[in-house]
Chain A
């Protein structure tokens, strides 16, 4: 299967240029549901309503307003917003190369493979090699679909990949949050927790996890489509709640040793 590129551009690293094509690296396998009106099983639609008059307003007629925390509100007209749209460009500009792990996990959004565009094959192969040797991750900005994008340039299975990144505005900063506190943790309990983690240590291998649940949802839907009733499964047994943390850790360690 050969896929269609969603964007063509030129990756710029300082004075170097690599002509590239972007390909989505994900396939959607989600079981999609629609929201229906419970009584007549008709799909619902989303509409906009003026809560005071009850009048319905079409999406394309709705206007946008900006508001701040102080309570000011300003109307922004469509042409004004259109004027703020970024200039179209083919450039994917690398801002900097960061050490691995410098970006918050929560920034990573959607991965795209970078393939070579016409005439860029040699540069693309060299890019993969140079990225591998640096061990670094590039921070890239570009404009696509009338929007500013930020991405992380990395390697995936030795092929250059661009993972779109979320902006700071989309992430809840942890700086303002205070962690739970209490008296100093017990050194013995900490040691047992560390030992238990050691025993459960494994390499990260995402391929070992399958979405079994997706299969059971589809199976249930097939059953229901065939007129059968959904089978009720037995409630799962609950784990005993351990009040004594040390005792629970000790028992876990013994259990892990027996099985490991």
Chain B
């Protein structure tokens, strides 16, 4: 019980520390996302949310980590001397630089005053939903409509939850189902779909139906009575453009590619170079301002082994998989004659190999 209390107070602190009260405009949000690298002091990423995932009477403690990177273009803000700048909060009245503990959320009333709200008050409005994702419905995965998708998060199992996590992931994957629930995170309620892929569970937040307009709200008619001739022409065009999978190139941001090549060219010509890589990287001091490595945390939180089921002899095998290429894993899967291997990605192959007891 004491442990649980500790966990929930940690979660509350996490929310307090990380909540930046969503900026108002999309542009501002984008800006905030782009500037993420410049926020305050580096922190080891903690879960965005931690709580319990429930499935019938089975409940497993989990953490939620973002499955997105905030920044599309990772440019840093510097001053005219090339010195890196940090983003800070400043009080608009007394001009003081503020730390996160100096901040409180406020809701603006019509007369321009603010009603202040503590995170605890927001949590107390829905204590159960703030701590639990209760899967009460399972839908066909294909039925989820992308118009509703907001953001994705990785679910990581906490202590003692590994077996139940693996079981739920596998059962959902085999049945091609997604679990649906509502929960409260950082002052907002969300509908979420829990999906499993390659043995990893993801939570995907969904829009509420009342935030999605109907075509009628826009004043759009229903596209009735098209001419057969027009349909045929467009069907012909669709057929010409058919592909089974997208090419990789158009999925990358062309702007990033352009910035990359400009920067590399300038580096080569030694123009406006602010800093160069040390010859021997091991000499370099640990860069204190490096953004926290979410990837490392995710790898560490996901690549866990059930304590009671890991005979020492299997540990090296897991090590090998961690560095194995997909080709190597595929070869192993072929050797073991695992079904469906040709369609599996790296993570799925690893999961399949492990599940086959290797």
Decide whether A and B assemble into one complex.
yes
In the complex, what distance in Å separates the CA atom of A158 from the CA atom of B222?
Answer: 7
For B252, list chain A residues within 8 Å (CB): 167-169
Among B122-178, those with CB < 8 Å from A are 122, 124-129, 131-132, 135-140, 142-149, 151-152, 154, 157, 160, 162-172, 174-175, 177
Report the minimum CB–CB distance from A102 to chain B (whole Å).
6
Least distance between A190 CB and chain B CB atoms (Å): 6
CB of A20 to closest CB in B, whole Å: 11
Q: How far is the CA of A11 from the CA of B209 in the complex (A)?
A: 28
Nearest A residue to B248, CB-CB: A168
B21 touches A35 (CB 8 A): yes
Residue B85 interfacial (CB < 8 Å): yes
B69 touches A170 (CB 8 A): yes
CB distance from B63 to the nearest CB of A (A): 13
Shortest Cβ distance from B304 into chain A, in angstroms?
Answer: 5
A118 interface residue, CB < 8 Å from B? no
Give per-residue flags for A86-120: 1 if the beta carbon is below 8 A from chain B beta carbons, else 0: 10000000111111111101101101010100000
Chain B positions within 8 Å of A31 at CB level: 107, 187-188
A33 close to B21 (CB less than 8 A): yes
Contact B72 A170 (CB under 8 A): yes
Q: Which residues of B contact A213 (CB under 8 A)?
A: 125-126, 129, 184, 188-189
Q: Assuming the A-B contacts A33-B105, A63-B80, are A2 and B219 also in contact, with contact meaning beta carbons closer than 8 angstroms in the complex? A: yes
- In whole angstroms, how far apart are the Cα atoms of A253 and B94 in the complex? 61
Contact A25 B147 (CB under 8 A): yes
- Bound: A175/B220 CA distance, A: 41
Chain B positions within 8 Å of A38 at CB level: 101-104, 116
CA–CA, A124 and B142, complex, Å: 26
B88 adjacent to chain A (CB < 8 Å): yes
With A33-B106, A71-B281, A95-B241 as contacts: A179 and B126 at CB distance below 8 Å? no
Q: Is the CB of B103 within 8 A of A33?
A: no
- Chain B at the A interface: SS class: mixed
Chain A proximity mask over B345-358: 1 for CB below 8 Å, otherwise 0: 11100110011110
Q: Are B108 and A75 in contact (CB under 8 A)?
A: no
Residue from B139, B169, B225, B255 in contact with A179 in the complex, judged by beta carbons closer than 8 Å: B169
Residue in B54, B165, B226 whose CB lies within 8 Å of A180? B165
Q: What are 15 A-B contacts defined by CB distance under 8 Å?
A: A14-B236, A27-B213, A37-B103, A38-B116, A45-B89, A66-B259, A72-B273, A133-B231, A171-B69, A179-B200, A189-B167, A201-B177, A209-B182, A220-B117, A239-B52
Please give 15 more A-B residue pairs, beta carbons under 8 A apart, in addition to A34-B105, A40-B93, A63-B82. A28-B211, A34-B21, A37-B103, A44-B89, A65-B82, A72-B273, A74-B274, A96-B246, A123-B230, A129-B231, A147-B255, A156-B145, A193-B167, A200-B136, A236-B128
Complex Cα gap A24–B212 (Å): 9
Do residues B356 and A204 form an inter-chain contact, with CB atoms below 8 A?
no
Chain A to chain B: the 6 pairs with minimum beta-carbon distance, closest first: A252-B56, A179-B199, A182-B306, A126-B230, A213-B189, A236-B128
Q: A1-35 CB contact bits vs B (8 Å, 1 = yes)? A: 11100000000011110100001111111111111
Q: Which of A243-260 contact B (CB under 8 A)?
A: 243, 245, 248-249, 251-253, 255-256
B56/A253 in contact, CB under 8 A = yes
**B226 in complex: contacting residue of A102, A108, A126, A189, CB < 8 Å:** A126
Interface residues of A in 162-179 (CB under 8 A from B): 163, 165-172, 174-179
Which A residue sits closest to B266, measured CB to CB? A74
The CA-CA distance from A45 to B96 in the complex, in Å, is: 10
B87 x A48 contact (CB < 8 A): yes
Residue B339 CB within 8 A of the other chain: no
A171 nearest CB across to chain B (Å): 6
- Measured between alpha carbons, how far is A105 from B355 in the docked complex, in Å? 25
Q: In this assembly, does B312 line the interface, its C-beta being within 8 Å of a C-beta of chain A? A: no
- Residues from chain A with a CB closer than 8 A to the CB of B93 are 37, 40, 42
Q: A76 CA to B75 CA in the complex, in Å?
A: 9
Chain A nearest CB from B277 CB (Å) reads 4
Please determine whether B189 and A211 come into contact, CB atoms closer than 8 angstroms: yes
Q: Which of B70, B235, B253 contacts A167 (CB 8 A)?
A: B253
| Residue of B whose beta carbon sits closest to that of A229 | B121
A201 touches B218 (CB 8 A): no
Q: Kindly list chain A residues whose C-beta atoms are within 8 Å of the C-beta of B94.
A: 37, 40, 42
Question: Which residue in chain A gives the minimum CB-CB distance to B108?
Answer: A34
A220 to B250, CA, bound (A): 47
B56, B132, B251, B273: the one within 8 Å of A196 (CB): B56
For residue A252, which residue of chain B has the nearest CB?
Answer: B56
Chain B min CB distance to A194 (Å): 5
Q: In the complex, which of the residues B22, B272, B322 contacts A32, with contact meaning CB atoms closer than 8 Å?
A: B22
Q: 0/1 per residue, A193-215, Cβ < 8 Å to B?
A: 11011101111101101111110
Once bound together, how far apart are the Cα atoms of A34 and B24, in whole Å? 9
Is the Cβ of B166 less than 8 Å from the Cβ of A46? no
The answer to whether B85 touches A50 (Cβ under 8 A) is yes
Q: Which residue of B lies closest to A62 (CB)?
A: B77
Q: Are A245 and B347 in contact (CB under 8 A)?
A: no
CB distance from B272 to the nearest CB of A (A): 4
Bound: A113/B213 CA distance, A: 9
Query: Is the beta-carbon distance between B115 and A225 smaller than 8 angstroms?
Result: yes
Interface pair A126/B227, CB less than 8 Å apart: yes
Which residues in A have their C-beta under 8 angstroms from that of B188?
30-31, 213-214
Are B166 and A185 neighbours in the complex by a CB distance under 8 Å? yes
Please give, as numbers and ranges, the residues of chain B lying within 8 Å of A74 by CB-CB distance: 263, 266-267, 271-274
